[in-house]
Amino acid sequence: MHVSLTVNGQRAVTDVEPRTLLVHLLREELGLTGTHVGCDTSYCGACTVILDGKTVKSCTMLAVQAQGAEVTTIEGLAANGDLHPVQEGFWERHGLQCGFCTPGMIMSAVGLLSENGSPSEDEIRHGLEGNLCRCTGYHNIVRAVEYAAAKMRGEEPPAPEWEEASA
């Protein structure tokens, strides 16, 4: 079936089988392999993308359901070579270990911060409830989102905990 959608600001037109999942269209048709497939049960959130302004699990959506939609993937966040503040936060605060869940975590964090610019730690943890980190690296993921939230508010991010500990 014919599908046309906008991915990271670029129009994409392709033919897919009805059973093609959005994540497979992104990865296999468009070569955007930053969006990961982590599970087959819709639990892990590694495939999270932003579709018409809302985070969705692209492994649990048919490509044909995204007909006409605007999709943002992890590849669409950095602009002109500058990392998105959430990407920068994950870099600066060691928000990843193996990195497999990271694209989904980042997209969910972007979605969270678009609705709540000053989330508490509790709100961050609940906002990321649909994303699993198999390394259990949640602690620094929360710090990374706090860093990004401060940056996006134009504030100085909190100092890293390892500096506080050695001070």
Give the binding site for other proteins (CB under 8 A): 1, 17-21, 24, 40-42, 45, 48, 54-57, 59-62, 64-65, 67, 108, 111-112, 126-130
Rank residues 17 and 155 by Cβ distance to other proteins and give the closer one.
Answer: 17
Query: From the CB of 117, what's the least distance to other proteins, in Å?
Result: 16
Distance from C-alpha of 32 to C-alpha of 29, rounded to nearest angstrom:
8
Contact 71, 30 (CB under 8 A): no
Residue 147 neighbours by CB under 8 Å, 6+ apart: 85, 88, 89, 92, 93, 157, 158
Query: From the CB of 111, what's the least distance to other proteins, in Å?
Result: 7
Rank residues 148 and 157 by Cβ distance to other proteins and give the closer one.
Answer: 148
Angle CA(35)–CA(43)–CA(104) in degrees, nearest 5? 25
Query: From the CB of 26, what's the least distance to other proteins, in Å?
Result: 15
Give the other-Cβ count within 10 Å of 138's Cβ.
Answer: 17
Query: From the CB of 20, what's the least distance to other proteins, in Å?
Result: 7
Rank residues 87 and 131 by Cβ distance to other proteins and give the closer one.
Answer: 131
